[in-house]
Amino acid sequence: MVLASLVVSGRQRLLILRSTGEIWPINTNDVQYIMPSSLISPGLADACWSPELVSLWAEGEEATSPEMAEAVKPMQEARRKAVLILRKVMRETERMCGKMIGDIGRSQFGGIEGVWNKIAPQDGPSTITAREVAEFILNAHGPATRITVKSNTLPAYAAHCLMMNRSDLFLADPVSMAVNGVFMVRSRAEREDLHRVTQLLNSQAVEDQAVLARFLDKAKRVVRLARKAREDAPEGEFVEVKHDTPDWTEEERLILSALVSRLYETRTIQTAEQEAFATNIMKMTGVYGDEIVDRAMLPKFLSDLGVIAPWDTLKRSEARELARRGSEMSRLKPAADGLLQGNELDELRHDFTHHKVFVIDDATASELDDGLSIERIPGTNDAWIHVHVADPTRYISLNSDIATGASFQGGSAYLPEGNVPLLPLEVVMKELSLGAEFSRDEGRQGTMTFSTRLSPSGEILDSRVRMGWIYKPRVVTYDSVNRVLGVQGRDTVRPLGTPLDLPSQPKANAQFSAEDAEDLRLIQTFAQAHRCRRYAHAGFEWESPSSNLRILTKLPELSTNIFDPRLLPARPQIYVGSPKFDLTVTPLPKTWSGLPATLMVAEMMIMGGRTAARFCTERNLSAPFRVTRKPTPIQLPGQKAFTLDEILAQRDPVSNTIDMSIIRSANLSFSSGEASMSPGHHWVMGITDDAGYVRATSPLRRFDDLLVHWQIKAALASEKGLGGELARTISTEDMTRFVKRSDPAQRKLRRMGITANEWWSAGLVISRLRNPRPDGYEYGPGWIDPTGPITGIISGPTSYGATSMVKNTTPVVIPALGLSARMPGRGQANFQIGQELQVKLIGASQWLAPVIDVAPVES
């Protein structure tokens, strides 16, 4: 039973009462199934806890005072009553599970196995829900009246429990099980492969034992070869060791594929089918001696076997596997051809070719999907700001195979070792990225253009959405625009040394005329006004010191998807060497001299999203509107309570940003951003009008933006009297289905990007603790010794272990390196958020979850 939603160590958690009587904090993604709240009355639930007890629990203490002990008594009685109800639900669930196991029919092997046997495809996964499984079982004998099962009821929960216990047959959605309720049905081929690997380990047959013995012998030789090669190799570029590496047989590849799949199916809401044999195989090789052999050892084992490259975070493969499995599970039948002709709606396009369009981005960016132009309105101080957005839906239809794959991937993944684009790059770069060179349409480029009339005070006076033409937009960099705007750039530093062979970056060499400069400064003025008006009464952005880690070493090509058994290497690929890193840190500015180009462009994109939302709202179109509720300050005993107005008052007047430590110390409870089919307020962004907000300006990188474009185009075509498929808007039901598919995938991709950066950062720390000053770098006055004391800032409250023997951990930010770390300790820690202290890097690990550890320096 959920008692409360609260912030623990800066993260959203649910406080739950278990049927055992224990109270646990859990991640919101760990919720697997939601039963009706009517099972337990709100009054009884409220009586089970108090903020005072939560405060004590968060500090690792117990209610020992007589006053608190007396106050606990009625709570304990309330919990006892609630626990009795929870246990009754469990007993009823067990009875229903027993009924279902007995109701399937003798000819189908019985129980949940019978369901799988009836529905499992031969190749490629499919999907099913617990509700559908419950209906299948309860109607197995063909009752006179068909039994219908509703979601979130006891029969559906019983089926859910049966399926969760059989990960060899059904895999739960690892991201949003409670929301989607979708299980993947393993194919017969995949189950046979898993069964074959288990059989090889347990079989008494001579032939099977010989197969396993040959694999183990090869594995030992490969691991020893890899170790010796790495010990003997000097630092430098990665080089493949090709001699003395054996080929893997088909059955050996089967074993390796099963081991690799364990690294994709990492969530712990189900017991992994591969867990037992993965550990057994590693132990049977005998190559790890006294080391602890567990799941955390598996990536190292596969790297030693030359299956996983030493620079592979696996996130690129995860992104592609996410899309692959999703596409295979889809019940859609995509069109055979993924592209339209591109001229189907060109008669609707407005001519913006006389506009000077600025496409402003980072010097290294390739997928350019937005540009800006300004149009003065004679006789007024108002102006039209036009946001011109790349138009991939000109060629890609909603029912195409490209769109289907993109819907399951959700967005582009940006990783240090390489990116995974949402759309095929040959499609994007040929004609869609703004500024691309082509001869079609006399060099004009099709866009979706969001136009907003702004007053000097930033008020939105009017808006229009049109398909457009632009011609030869000017592609310029943030740095060059900042120089024109007179905004002081934020200098980056290299605290661990400057690489001697640092690749030269494209220079911000754009030449701006006086008219160009005047246009850019006017856009900046309107952006600043719109930003201040938007944040007048709500919302903020937060900042903390950031780092950017680039891999300068050219990495050899990886398998496009290591989790696809067909793409597993046919022989070990062992590499020696080490990458060269370029770590740059961008300190927080003490003051803002003006709105920089990055924030100016971002503000105009937000304005474009508001204009797109207004278009959809006025026409009652379903769209993935983004909404967030107002955060709630949590009052805890012994801590100062901050009101939202007090927090908003601490924002920077130019940027409206606020220091992250202020947010963390305020102990705010944030609701996660959601997609809604109808407009709502987005409080964190300061958008509180009835039109709402949608994301529509990055269609080359986000599937949600594509959905908005398809919806707007259909409405524009219909208003012009055009018929056919391109004038048919997406229904609310279909839009909901698409968003439920893409939104969790997009969140997962964002988490992948964060984890990949943390993985490489941990690798850099490991490398520099071993060799603080490697060759190939220049070490100037700003160099920081990674083995010495360094200033850290407490960035969140201490998390306490369940027993006195388990270490607590305190999150720490190291501003000089732009890195986050944890500080293990024992007992109670009296740190304050924002407190500075001297720490020392003591270690890091990359698998399974990358972490950097620090220890306080004794004064």
Give the pLDDT of residue 296.
84
Above 50 in pLDDT, residue 657?
yes
Which stretch, 238-242, 340-344, 403-407, 429-433, has highest mean pLDDT? 403-407
Which stretch, 154-168, 379-393, 426-440, 485-499, has highest mean pLDDT? 379-393
DSSP-assigned states of every residue in 177-245: HHHH-EEEEPPHHHHHHHHHHHHHHH---HHHHHHHHHHHHHHHHHHHHHHHHHHHPPSSS-EEE-TTP
Above 60 in pLDDT, residue 107?
no
Lowest mean pLDDT: which of 203-212, 401-410, 626-635, 814-823?
626-635
- Closest-CA residue to 444 (of 467, 427, 421, 425): 467
Distance CA 773, CA 672 (A): 43
Sequence-ordered list of residues with C-beta below 8 angstroms from that of 731, at least 6 positions apart, any chain = 622
Distance CA 327, CA 401 (A): 9
With cut-offs at 50, 70 and 90, classify the pLDDT of residue 108: very low
pLDDT in tens, 45-103: 888 877 666 665 555 555 556 666 666 778 888 889 999 999 999 999 998 888 887 65
Q: What is the mean pLDDT of residues 468-488?
A: 91
Q: Which domains does the chain have, with CATH numbers?
A: 2-96 (no CATH), 191-329 (no CATH), 346-545+587-755 (no CATH), 788-856 (2.40.50.140)
Give the pLDDT of residue 714.
95
Q: What is the side-by-side order of every strand in the sheet holding 11-17?
A: 2-8, 11-17, 23-27
Residues 569 and 306: beta-carbon distance below 8 Å: yes
Distance CA 711, CA 282 (A): 52
- Closest-CA residue to 2 (of 23, 10, 152, 20): 23
b/e code 531-545 from CB counts within 10 Å (16+ = b) = bbbbbeebbbbeebb
- Closest-CA residue to 336 (of 409, 399, 395, 393): 399
Above 80 in pLDDT, residue 261?
yes
Strand, coil or helix: what is 774?
A: coil
Element (H, E) at 777: strand 777-778
Give the pLDDT of residue 424.
82
HEC per residue, 124-180: CCEEEEHHHHHHHHHCCCCCCCCCCCCCCCHHHHHHHHHHHCCCCCEEECCCCHHHH
**Eight-class DSSP state of 60:** T
With cut-offs at 50, 70 and 90, classify the pLDDT of residue 253: very high
Above 90 in pLDDT, residue 39?
no
User: What Å distances lie between residue 506 and 372, 468, 476, 547, CA to CA?
Assistant: 22, 30, 11, 20
Residues 625 and 613: beta-carbon distance below 8 Å: yes
Strand, coil or helix: what is 381?
A: coil
Distance CA 521, CA 486 (A): 9
Give the pLDDT of residue 58.
53
Give the pLDDT of residue 808.
84
- Closest-CA residue to 311 (of 319, 303, 321, 320): 303
Q: Give the CA angle between residues 395, 397, 403 to the nearest 5°.
A: 105
Beta bridge partners of 462: 453
Give the pLDDT of residue 382.
97
Residue with tokens 């690749």: 503
Give the pLDDT of residue 106.
45
Above 90 in pLDDT, residue 453?
yes
Lowest mean pLDDT: which of 440-454, 514-528, 646-660?
646-660
Distance CA 708, CA 704 (A): 7
Above 90 in pLDDT, residue 381?
yes
Average pLDDT score over the chain: 85
With cut-offs at 50, 70 and 90, classify the pLDDT of residue 109: very low
- 671 burial class (0-12, 13-18, 19+ CB within 10 angstroms)? middle
Distance CA 611, CA 466 (A): 11
Q: Two tokens at 207?
A: 């032939």
Lowest mean pLDDT: which of 12-21, 383-392, 395-404, 409-418?
12-21
Distance CA 317, CA 299 (A): 14
Alpha-carbon 14 to chain mean position: 20
Determine how β-strand 474-477 pairs with β-strand 358-361. Answer: parallel
Element (H, E) at 608: helix 597-618
Q: Two tokens at 136?
A: 């299948």
Lowest mean pLDDT: which of 163-167, 638-642, 836-840?
638-642
With cut-offs at 50, 70 and 90, classify the pLDDT of residue 7: low
pLDDT in tens, 589-621: 767 778 889 999 999 999 999 999 999 999 999
Q: Two tokens at 389?
A: 């957005």
Give the pLDDT of residue 560.
83
Strand, coil or helix: what is 321?
A: helix
Preceding peptide of 599 cis, ω within 30°? no
- Alpha-helix runs per DSSP H in 510-596: 514-534
Alpha-carbon 491 to chain mean position: 29
Above 50 in pLDDT, residue 451?
yes
pLDDT in tens, 694-752: 999 999 999 999 999 999 999 999 999 988 888 899 999 999 989 988 988 898 899 89
Q: What is the mean pLDDT of residues 461-471?
A: 96
Give the pLDDT of residue 337.
52
- Closest-CA residue to 463 (of 627, 609, 351): 609
Give the pLDDT of residue 105.
46
- 588 burial class (0-12, 13-18, 19+ CB within 10 angstroms)? middle
Sequence-ordered list of residues with C-beta below 8 angstroms from that of 196, at least 6 positions apart, any chain = 251, 254
Q: Phi/psi zone of residue 692: left (φ > 0), alpha (ψ -120 to 50 degrees), beta?
A: left
The residue type at 742: S
Neighbours of 267 (CB within 10 A): 15
HEC per residue, 268-297: CCCCCCCHHHHHHHHHHHCCCCCCCCCHHH
- Closest-CA residue to 299 (of 810, 839, 847): 847
Over pLDDT 90: what percentage of the chain?
A: 41
pLDDT in tens, 181-225: 788 898 899 899 989 999 998 889 999 999 999 999 999 999 998
- Closest-CA residue to 14 (of 49, 40, 41, 39): 49
**Alpha-carbon dihedral 82, 83, 89, 93, rounded to 10 degrees:** 160
Q: Give the CA angle between residues 664, 667, 668 to the nearest 5°.
A: 100
With cut-offs at 50, 70 and 90, classify the pLDDT of residue 334: very low
